[in-house]
Amino acid sequence: MMGKLLRAQWMPLLGAIAVAGVVLSFTNKEFGTAFNVYTILQTAAVDAVIGLSQMVVLSVGDLSLAVGGIGGLVTIAVGNLFSVQHWPIGAAIVGALLIGLVCGLLNGIIIAYTGISGFIVTLATGTAFTGISYGVTSTIPYSNVSSVLVTLGQGRVSFFPYALIVTIAATVLIGGALRFLPIGREVLAVGGNREAAVLSGLSRQRATLIAHTVSGLLAAVAAVMYVGVLQSATPATGSDWLIVSFAVPIIGGTALVGGEASASGCFVAAIVLAAINDALIVLNINTDAVELAEGLLIFAAVLAGRLGQVVLRPGQASGTRRGGGATETSGAPAATT
């Protein structure tokens, strides 16, 4: 178990960032303070869940451009249910989470049963969700946010934000589900080799549906956390989630083509991204450089993964597979399963 942890793809990344963090905390008196570490972890807490939301869909070999759209819709749902409909905060949160779940379910149903690609479907629905958010609020944020949510988003014990508890729970649950639940294995099997999975009696539709539904729920969880962090429910929430949602799982070692996922990788990657972001600000480097740094990091992560493949498995990486024989397709259009 320990050995496996050490061989994880994100381990070198974590090592590098830990060293850089220690060095920074000695050279810069602000970086190592409990408050600054709290700030980093607070950002990472939300980003990690956003990343998990995308990771689940990547696992099944699909992708979602609607993570941000769902986040925005859930945000204003929390705000509206609490401050306009005057629901108790618990009910408002549950209601908002359900909305996220239903949005994901909707994506899943359309993708699984029409065969239209997830890219197109979620591009459309994600945009529509954002449109609804702006329409409902006339672009005005709800600033009256429950103290419960503020505690969730802002509360801390020394450097440890309460929000991180939610993130850890989500990471353990999603990681565990993908590893130990039959449906989790089904999602990864379909993502890894759809044909083989279907011939083994697994269901592509079911796996796609579940992945998108869980993704919707996770996007909703991230949105609820974010309302607390921001202390305001604004329809603009989610507009900048797209890149984060891909960067976090990819840096964390999730395969873009499906079949392989790492929830713990998402967690580490989110912390790394937040720490870099924070360091650039603390060091007074132009904040515009943050995105450049993120871009380079994604590139480095992909490159590291690729290099690992080449070094560890030369045969596979250079495509020396054999066989690939012929199937009978003559005349008859290959019937899909």
The binding site for another protein (CB under 8 A) comprises: 179-182, 185, 188-189, 192-193, 195-202, 255, 259-260, 313-314, 316, 318-335, 337
For the bound state, the minimum distance from the C-beta of residue 202 to another protein, rounded and expressed in Å, comes to 5
Q: Which is nearer to another protein, 138 or 182 (CB)?
A: 182
> Considering beta carbons, is residue 2 or 326 the nearer one to another protein?
326
Q: What is the dihedral of CA 49, 254, 217, 128, to 10 degrees?
A: 100
Assign residue 86 a region (left: φ > 0; alpha: ψ between -120 and 50; beta: otherwise): left
The residue among 146 and 262 lying less far from another protein, judged by its C-beta, is 262
Distance between CA atoms of residues 163 and 119, nearest Å: 31
| Min separation Cβ 312 and another protein, Å | 11
Nearer to another protein, 155 or 305 (CB): 305
Quote the CA–CA distance of 37 and 160 in Å, as a whole number: 8
Cβ 331 to another protein shortest distance, Å: 5
Cα dihedral 247→251→255→261 (10° resolution): -100
Least spacing, CB of residue 321 vs another protein, in Å: 7
Q: Of 68 and 258, which CB lies nearer to another protein in the complex structure?
A: 258
Q: How far is the CB of 237 from another protein (least distance, A)?
A: 35
Q: Which of 215, 213, 212, 187 is nearest to 202 (CA)?
A: 187
Query: What are the DSSP E strand ranges found in the chain?
Result: 156-157, 160-161
Assigned token pair, 111: 């993708």
